[in-house]
């Protein structure tokens, strides 16, 4: 990320409505919001004239060797409902360890309310699974601002 890029991060509890707030800011319903825990990987949201998502897989340790193996990213065109649903499924995917196979998902879309210089980063909740804290810390170092969303529970 270069110095001219403004990065806004949204960090909060699981199910606090981070993705819903970002959808509202972007005036677009692309981020999944239909389950208590919808975002299971980092989503970097950028303006683009094209509509697509790039899902970057986590490095894997090769079974027969002592080094990591890189998989090519999964590219998803977001021109129809099927593509948008595939994107949402990749973001929400998790295994029995509550881990997502993607290091991050890059979302490119012609948002009317987003400048080319701004990157919005949606994150899993702070109690959202493996290595979330390290991931959040890495993004926090590059952020110019962040939004913390909290669940409002009535006092008993």
Residues 46-66: pLDDT tens digits? 999 999 999 999 887 666 666
Q: Is the CB of residue 45 less than 8 Å from the CB of residue 122?
A: yes
CA angle centred on 66, ends 60 and 67, rounded to 5° = 45
Each residue of 93-146: pLDDT tens digit? Answer: 887 777 889 989 999 999 999 999 999 988 887 655 556 667 777 777 787 777
- Cα angle vertex 62, ends 61, 65, to 5°? 115
Q: Which strands make up the sheet holding 74-77, listed edge to edge?
A: 74-77, 52-57, 102-109, 42-47, 118-122, 6-12, 145-149
For the chain, domain boundaries: 6-149
Task: Give me the mean pLDDT over the 34-40 stretch.
Answer: 72
């Amino acid at each position: 990320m270069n110095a001219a890029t403004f990065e806004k991060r949204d960090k909060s509890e699981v199910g606090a409505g981070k993705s819903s707030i970002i959808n509202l800011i972007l005036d677009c319903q692309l981020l999944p919001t239909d389950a208590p825990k919808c975002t299971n990987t980092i989503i970097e949201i950028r303006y683009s004239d094209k509509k697509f998502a790039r899902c970057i897989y986590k490095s894997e340790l090769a079974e027969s060797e002592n080094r990591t193996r890189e998989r090519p990213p999964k590219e998803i065109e977001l021109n129809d409902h099927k593509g948008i649903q595939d994107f949402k499924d990749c973001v929400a995917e998790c295994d029995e360890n509550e881990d997502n196979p993607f290091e991050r998902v890059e979302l490119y879309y012609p948002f009317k309310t987003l400048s080319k210089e701004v990157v919005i980063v949606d994150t899993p909740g702070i109690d959202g699974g493996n290595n979330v804290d390290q991931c959040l810390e890495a993004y926090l170092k590059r952020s110019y601002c962040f939004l913390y969303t909290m669940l409002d529970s009535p006092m008993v």
